[in-house]
Amino acid sequence: MSLVVVGSVAFDTIETPFGKTNKILGGAGTYISLASSYFADNPKVISVVGRDFPGKYIRLLQKHNIDTEGLQIKGSGKTFFWKGIYHADMNSRDTIATELNVLEDFDPVIPESYQNTKFLMLGNLSPVVQRRVIERLKKRPKLIAMDTMNFWMDTCLEDLLKTISLVDVLIINDGEARRLSGEYSLVKASKKILSMGPKRLIIKKGEHGALLFDKKQVFFAPALPLEDIFDPTGAGDTFAGGFIGYLAKDGDISFDNMKRAVIYGSAMASFCVEKFGTERLVNLSQKEINKRVLNFIDLVQFNCRLADLF
Ligand code: AMP
């Protein structure tokens, strides 16, 4: 089923304890659409870049069967730039630079061929821009998912709450869930956030996995314990891309299928961190993905001894 992805397409400079990069391809929209492309048929991206954005990156997206008609190229501006440095534990990072450039006054344009999409994934952007996309779609998609971050809670909470009230699935990390709800317990946080509008909530906990909530149920997916973690940039976006791409594959949005989608999202994120930037994401085979999903099944499967229970 059709999928539209909205999010930054960017230049990133990344420094981790294992090395550093020059300006490489990054951005939430890039990670989401690349990850989703392994499941969804012809995902469509909406974003903006500047005149400095190399054609080879656009061709790379197209090679992954990503529709770039909605990727605006602003002749008069520069592409969004982000630089981050990771601490030794790789769990925390400092943002050294955020140059919005063409993203500053981004006005999303929705090509006619993107209308009637069944799935919409709103990557982390201003909630006003995210809402504008929803409003500019002539028909409400079957499922709208959205990511956000603390920055928007601090600077435009009212707008953020308005946008959150319009979506079906909110995907945030544990710190953001606590900030948004004012609750430390993630169970209490989920109740409060689900009362804001979304039917489902995913709380990502980095190397400790992810939780999927609706009003009645909760599901937990671990993160795969990995020997080598090279660069966590984009892992959250890659998770979201794998999740929404898997759902868009056949359109089943039941809680049970969302559990599977959370595992596929986690599997994609586990690849993302193994190399710098998008390097690992651009050369995956279906066989590798399947093998990794089987690793997840092995990781959580165990048998109860009936004698212990009765
Ligand atoms: P993550 O590691 O999941 O937080 O995502 C990192 C990606 O988000 C990088 O590729 C950045 O280019 C992008 N990014 C960082 N800050 C912003 C921002 N304020 N708006 C949009 N994208 C951003």
Tens-digit pLDDT profile for residues 149-160: 999 999 999 999
pLDDT of residue 177: 97
Measured between alpha carbons, how far is 173 from 186 in angstroms, rounded to an integer? 10
Using alpha carbons only, what angle is made at residue 52 by residues 122 and 110, rounded to the nearest 5 degrees? 30
Give the binding-site residues of ligand 1, using a 6 Å CB cut-off.
8, 10, 12, 26-28, 82, 98, 124-125, 233-237
Q: Whose CA is nearest to atom 14 of ligand 1?
A: 27
**Distance in Å, CA 308 to ligand 1 centroid:** 48
Atom of ligand 1 nearest to the CA of 81: 12
In the chain, the DSSP E strands lie at: 3-6, 10-16, 19-20, 24-26, 44-50, 67-74, 81-86, 93-99, 119-122, 143-147, 169-173, 200-204, 210-213, 218-221
**Distance in Å, CA 27 to ligand 1 centroid:** 5
Of the listed ranges 28-42, 77-91, 256-270, the least confidently predicted one is: 77-91
Q: Are 153 and 172 in contact (CB under 8 A)?
A: no
Q: Whose CA is nearest to atom 11 of ligand 1?
A: 27
Of the pLDDT bands very low, low, confident and very high (cuts 50, 70, 90), residue 91 is confident
**Distance in Å, CA 304 to ligand 1 centroid:** 43
Q: Cα–Cα distances in Å, from 73 out to 63, 77, 106?
A: 19, 9, 11
Q: How many residues does the chain have?
A: 310
Residue 3's contacts (CB-CB under 8 Å, 6 or more residues apart) are 36, 40, 43, 44, 117, 118, 119, 120, 121, 244, 245, 248
Atom of ligand 1 nearest to the CA of 236: 3
Residue 1's contacts (CB-CB under 8 Å, 6 or more residues apart) are 40, 41, 118, 119, 142, 248, 249, 250, 251
Number of neighbours of residue 141 by Cβ within 10 angstroms: 20
Q: Are 276 and 231 in contact (CB under 8 A)?
A: yes
Our measurement of the distance from residue 134's CA atom to the centroid of its chain's CA atoms, rounded to an integer in Å, reads 17
Atom of ligand 1 nearest to the CA of 80: 12
Measured between alpha carbons, how far is 8 from 80 in angstroms, rounded to an integer? 7
pLDDT of residue 90: 84
Q: What is the pLDDT of residues 145-202, one digit of tens each?
A: 999 999 999 999 999 999 999 999 999 999 999 999 999 999 999 999 999 999 999 9
Atom of ligand 1 nearest to the CA of 237: 3
